[in-house]
Amino acid sequence: MIVRCDLCGGENEIHPGQEMLLCGYCGSSVALETREAPDHLILPHERNDGHAELALRSLLIARKLARPADIKIEFSFVPYAIAGGSDGKTRAVPAPGAPHWARPLPFPPAGNYSFFKKELAGKEKVFELRSVPEEARQLLHLPLYRIKYRAAGGKYDALVAGESLMTISDKFPPEVPAPASVPNMIAAACLFAAFLLIGRLASGWAARFVFVLLAASAGYVFFSLRERMIRNAG
């Protein structure tokens, strides 16, 4: 936002939250008036669909959920209102003019906000703010990726906030079972065969106990060494 100095008329740019201005032309200090209307800010962001898709995929992998397919990505700047909830926490909720698919955010994305100018969105789509909610402390135009995809036979919709890459959704795909480990299956079969052999060869309970203990110890050592090798390779 540009503010004109009262003494020399020089035009100075101010930033969100700034209360005093030191004129860059005459050096005088100017107190900025506190406005009753909430600040309207925008979070500039350079679109990168690849980063947004990676954020979604990373979340699904971390939660061991079904992998996405047939991905379609939309990008736009969406109006949000910053308001305090009954629990005292600050939340970002879709403001009037936001599309139907916009969802509340647990907190505003971090980033270098500027006073709202449509030009800061570049050529990207901007949903216009229709009105100011009474409870709004601030108004934000946030860069959002809407990702529609298929997984495990169902259709899903997720939002990724630009800059922070915070990913939210009302519904995620189901968990996928861990793939069977062939080496572990072979090792388990070998131990099972060893126990059967012990039962046939050992002549008494004491001997069987000793043989089972040795076989179990060998299996424990084998799996411990294997896990250590996997961690070192990773």
pLDDT at 191 over 50: yes
Q: In 10 A of CB 116, how many CB atoms?
A: 22
Q: Which ranges constitute the DSSP H helices of 17-166?
A: 49-62
Whether the Cβ atoms of residue 163 and residue 111 lie closer than 8 Å to each other: yes
Helices 205-233 & 182-201, crossing angle to 10 degrees? 170
**How high is the pLDDT of residue 91?**
83
In three-state secondary structure terms, 118 is helix
Quick: pLDDT tens for 125-179: 999 999 988 888 899 999 999 999 999 999 999 999 998 999 999 999 998 765 5
Predicted local confidence at residue 234, as pLDDT = 45
Give strand pairing partners of 65. Answer: 175
Q: Band the pLDDT of 24: cuts 50, 70, 90.
A: confident
The token pair at 150 is 């298929």
pTM: 0.64
Mean pLDDT across 100-122: 91
pLDDT in tens, 72-108: 999 999 999 998 766 667 789 999 999 999 999 988 8
Does the pLDDT of residue 20 top 70, yes or no?
no
- How far apart, in whole angstroms, are the C-alpha atoms of residue 157 and residue 136? 27
Query: What pLDDT, on a 0 to 100 scale, did the predictor assign at position 106?
Result: 86
Give residue 83's pLDDT.
81
Q: pLDDT tens-digit profile of 38-76?
A: 889 999 999 999 999 999 999 999 999 999 999 999 999
pLDDT of residue 11: 75
